[in-house]
Structure 1
Amino acid sequence: MTAILSTHDLALTFSTKRGPVEAVRGIDLAVEQGEILGFLGPNGAGKSTTLRMLTTLLAPTRGTATVAGHDLATQPRAVRRKIGYVAQSGGLDPQERVRSELVLQGRFYRLSRAEAEARAEELAVDLDLTELLDRTCAELSGGQRRRLDIAMALTHRPALLFLDEPTTGLDPGSRADLWELVRRIRDEGTTIFLTTHYLDEADALADRLVIVDHGEVVAEGTPAALKERYGGSPEATLQDTFIAITGHGPRREEPAPLTV
């Protein structure tokens, strides 16, 4: 397989009044084309900071990365043309109608008015938004808003889609629907980089996991391999497996528990 994303010693240190804070301490990873990569760890582990670096929103302190065939540091505009990004908080205007949001996103990516309108209709069908096109974003449920967030990120047909904790706050039914959508997007050819702190979500969706804690990679592999290696059996739960992983070796401090 071909890596669509690779990093070497990627790190970010923030300057604060109390001194430097190492949010990400040097991450090496590779995401293969066509897979769902689960980026897993407790709150504060550095997941979102790493994702923001990879999407050009934060400049790394050190290290290198290639994203969708382009150098992160020297070709950020080219990177942005190849990726989609759904932030934890979303980016919808509550007063805008769904159709307007989708068309505007298409125009941002330099589609003509006709092309943007056609793409909006296509995405509405694909993501079950057709009956919602004339509603304002404020009228949508949590699950509907997340589908719209994802639709907007797919407007320009990105090769790589970043999802930052996409199911946080959703009810179980909406979470299940979103899982099916994520699988379908991958099956249609888009590589997915998924950050989550839900262990069941990582187990259900990811082809491979990279587990981080305190800004460093502490384990990686397929869910089955990690459960067998650290939990004793492929049938072990990821909850038990994660506790085993963080329990080995010296730690600078006790890791925070994952949310389940």
Structure 2
Amino acid sequence: MSVDDESGEAALASTRPAARVRGLRKTYGDVIALQGLDLDVMPGSVVGLIGPNGAGKTTAVRCMAGLLKPDSGDVGIAPSRTPGRSPVAIAAQEIELYPGLPVETNLIFFGHLSGVENAEEVLAELAVELELGPLLGKLPKDLSIGQQRLVHVAAAMVAVPDLLLLDEPTAALDVGSRETLFAAVARRREAGVAVLLSSHQLQEVEATCDSIVMINHGEVIAAGDVDDLIGKHGGGQIEMTVDGTVQVVQGDDIAAAIAQVTAGGGRLEAVNVIKPSLETVFINLTGMRSMDVEAS
């Protein structure tokens, strides 16, 4: 194969989705978790998957990872660019580590399990990147929940996948660990890795993701570039507490909003201005405040 052929294949691969989901449907008895879900995750991008509690996010991620079998629909995962390696790795919500084995042994094992022959070298770099050095000789059962979470995410990264699935990866992480993790995610995006990030932390999603897919009741209700969606659906809101009751007025004219809600003589107790953001997109499309949403 010539150099030109190789570069042509690389360019073609970068235009193909690392993951393509079409018409995904999954039920649990009478409960419909997913109904006709479509989404693409391109190489070199971070896609945020958001939605209310029970929207189907975790089900979608687990189907994409091959951990759940959908009732119908297709999940297409592109072959790995590195022969012998797994094309996809997942850091699921549930922390999955061997509690009686040192962190270093855990991570090397997961690397070898994914076909990474030089797992020790990969781990050496990853330990520096995620600041895991002090944890390598410890047992997972002796770590804090936040430390366990970081090691759990590292177990997916040590696989060096082309598609990285992260389901609530920052749960229980402190601020410093979150920044370290997202810096690592950014470096993988720059290297051409496709990342799907499922999270309820909308500020993190807005700051980290190129695009989002918002689902509700197992269906896509909005998808696209983050800034475009904020411009289209993220109109500001003004929340006012009048006589103990919260009232919401769309827009950003505070004086007009106050005049509107106090026209009947009510006592204004508090005013909260919510600027256009991914959170206001979430509120406007689902009718729910993101802080009222718990892990699904």
TM-score by length of 2: 0.73
Aligned to 2:93: 88
Higher RCO (CA-CA < 8 Å; seq separation 6+): 1
Contact 1:40 1:197 in 2 (8 A): yes
In structure 2, C-alpha distance between the alignment counterparts of 1:146 and 1:229, rounded to whole Å: 35
Q: Secondary structure at the residue paired with 1:23?
A: strand
User: What is the CA deviation profile of residues 119-145 of structure 1, one whole-angstrom value per residue up to 9, with x for unaligned ones?
Assistant: 332332332222322122233344433
Distance 2:224 2:119 in 1: 40
Query: How do 1:1-260 and structure 2 match up within 5 A?
Result: 1-15=15-29, 20-69=30-79, 81-110=86-115, 115-232=118-235, 236-246=276-286, 257-259=289-291
SS at match of 1:6: strand
How far residue 111 of structure 1 moved from its aligned partner, in angstroms, is 5.2
The answer as to whether partners of 1:159 and 1:191 remain within 8 angstroms in 2 is yes
Name structure 1 gaps, 5 residues minimum.
Answer: 71-77, 248-255
> After the TM superposition, which of the residue ranges 151-160 and 121-130 deviates more from structure 2?
121-130
Distance 1:173 1:126, change over 3 A: closer
Confirm or deny: 8 A CA contact 2:146 2:172 kept in the other structure.
no
The question of whether the paired residues in 2 share the 8 Å contact of 1:143 and 1:178 is answered with no
Cα pair distance change 1:180/1:120, threshold 3 Å: closer
SS in 1 for 2:86: helix
1:75 — aligned with what?
Answer: none
Shift of 1:180: 2.2
Task: State the SS of the aligned residue for 1:182.
Answer: helix
Residues 232 and 106 (structure 1), Cα distance of their counterparts in 2 relative to 1, 3 Å cut: closer
CA shift in 2, pair 1:142/1:183, >3 Å: farther
Q: Give the conservation status (yes or no) of the 8 Å contact 1:7–1:66.
A: yes
2:20 is matched by which residue type in structure 1?
Answer: S
Q: Is the 8 A contact 2:150 2:173 kept in 1?
A: no
Q: In structure 1, the residue corresponding to 2:192 is in which secondary structure?
A: coil
For 2:161, give the aligned amino acid.
P
Structure 1 length normalisation: TM-score?
0.82
Distance (whole Å) between structure 1 residues aligned to residue 168 and residue 227 of structure 2:
22
- Once residues 73 and 95 of structure 2 are traced to their aligned partners in structure 1, the CA distance between those partners, rounded to angstroms, is 28
- Kindly state the Cα deviation for residue 53 of structure 1 after the two structures are TM-superposed: 0.6
Higher alpha-carbon Rg: 2
- Tell me the equivalent position of 2:270: none
Query: How well do the aligned residues superpose, as a CA RMSD in angstroms?
Result: 2.4
CA contact (8 A) 1:36 1:207 kept: yes
Following TM superposition, by how much is the alpha carbon of 1:239 offset from its aligned partner in structure 2, in angstroms? 1.8
Between the aligned partners of 2:122 and 2:277, the Cα distance in structure 1 is 41
- Tell me the residue number matched to 2:240: none
For the residue of structure 2 that corresponds to 1:103, the secondary structure is helix
- Give the drift of 1:91: 0.8
> Kindly, what percent of the aligned residue pairs are identical?
37
Amino acid of the structure 2 residue aligned with 1:106 = G
